[in-house]
Amino acid sequence: MRLALMFPGQASQFIGMGGDLRRLSPSVEAIYQLADAATGLPIGRVSAVGPDEYLTDTRFAQPAVVATSLAALAILREAAQAQGISLRPMICAGHSVGEITALVAAGALEPTAALAFVRWRGAFMAEACDSTNGSMAAVMGLSEEDVRKLCADSVQATNTFAEVANLNSPDQIVIAGHRAALQWISEHSRVRGARRAILLNVAGPFHSSAMRSAAGKLAPLVSRLSLTRPAYPLVLNQTGQATLDSDEIRSELISQLHEPVRWADSLQCMWDFGARVFVEVGPGQVLAGLARRTLTGATILNVQDQPSLDSTIQELKRLAETE
């Protein structure tokens, strides 16, 4: 099976995520307990019942998304094994903090180390957010060149900053910047030909130059992180290219904080590599939706709860039987 695994990033979280998966297998609860111990934060409780202000806080959101994705991966593997399905992917990728989940899935990073690392990643990024009046916005229907021009004009008009942050699909680009610049863009984007621009409810301007201070603080932790060669290629956010090189991955873990996520390129890379079945593993269906809009002819699945797990296992079994 020409399988690719995808792991979501921050903003996919919601109160109650992973809830019914906990009832299916003790391995799910074990991962949340591991997350609590590795981070010193009540990740399992916050994922289950909130409150919302905790779950939207970057300090909690990032380890909660990673823990829930790891839990979904564990139960997907158990269900696949029970059905005699080989779940070994040919390639994987994760969006922003999801890249760390992908490293665990590929055997390049131990779960405890990953969760402890994400705890500090979230904390350093939250500190950077606190020093800027920033956020993010999604612009639909403009090219990358047009969005960059829109950002440049907003900077000139507001004397603040706005930058391309996520190149998610051919028709969706997320920008990060000062709230004044984002508001200017939301008011002027349709005149430039955009279908719409939506201000996002996020804590700060991620994947922009505002995160350089966080990257600097994270760098010493990355240098000490115990990374091994992944069992299969990882597509890097910053380049949209696949690698097995641990040093390249280590460098990426620092630079991806302040560089754009080239997700559309990442999807194309996995397709060009030969993947035809794409499974998003973790909360939400953002990546599955982007894949559907980007990859014609691909089978797109996701696992975040019992219904999506059951339907994914059913489809993977059908695909395996037809090979």
Which pairing describes strands 91-94 and 3-7: parallel, antiparallel, or unpaired?
parallel
Q: Within 13 Å and on the Cβ side, how many CA atoms surround 288?
A: 17
What's the pLDDT at 1? 87
Active site residue 96: yes
Residues β-bridged to residue 138: 174, 198
CA dihedral 229, 234, 240, 243 (to 10 degrees): 30
Tokens coding 216: 């600097």
8 A C-beta contact, residue 189 and residue 196: yes
What's the pLDDT at 322? 86
CA quadruple 237, 114, 21, 57: dihedral positive or negative?
negative
What's the pLDDT at 131? 87
Element (H, E) at 123: helix 111-130
pTM listed for this prediction = 0.96
Distances in Å between the Cα of 176 and the Cα atoms of 151, 191, 192, 279 are 9, 20, 18, 28
Does domain 3-129+210-322 bear CATH number 1.10.150.120? no
CA-CA distance, 100 to 314, in Å (whole number)? Answer: 28
Find all residues with CB under 8 Å of 252, minimum gap 6, and list them. 99, 236, 237, 238, 239
Active site residue 207: yes
Catalytic residue among 207, 208, 266, 308: 207
Element (H, E) at 100: helix 98-105
CA quadruple 64, 69, 70, 74: dihedral positive or negative?
positive
What's the pLDDT at 303? 98
CA-CA distance, 166 to 264, in Å (whole number)? Answer: 9
Catalytic residue among 12, 69, 96, 135: 96
pLDDT per residue rounded down to tens, the chain (323 residues) = 899 999 999 989 999 999 999 999 999 999 999 999 999 999 999 999 999 999 989 999 999 999 999 999 999 999 999 999 999 999 999 999 999 999 999 999 999 999 999 999 999 999 999 989 999 999 999 999 999 999 999 999 999 999 999 999 988 999 999 999 999 999 999 999 999 999 887 889 999 999 999 999 999 999 999 999 999 999 999 999 999 999 999 999 999 999 999 999 999 999 999 999 999 999 999 999 999 999 999 999 999 999 999 999 999 999 998 87
Q: Which among 176, 178, 202 has a CA at the least distance from the CA of 55?
A: 202
SS3 for 117? helix
Taking residue 296's Cβ as centre, other Cβ atoms within 10 Å add up to: 7
**Domain 133-203 CATH (choose: 2.60.40.420, 3.30.70.250, 3.30.70.60, 3.90.1300.10):** 3.30.70.250
What's the pLDDT at 293? 92
What's the pLDDT at 323? 75
The domain locations on the chain are: 3-129+210-322, 133-203
8 A C-beta contact, residue 195 and residue 244: no
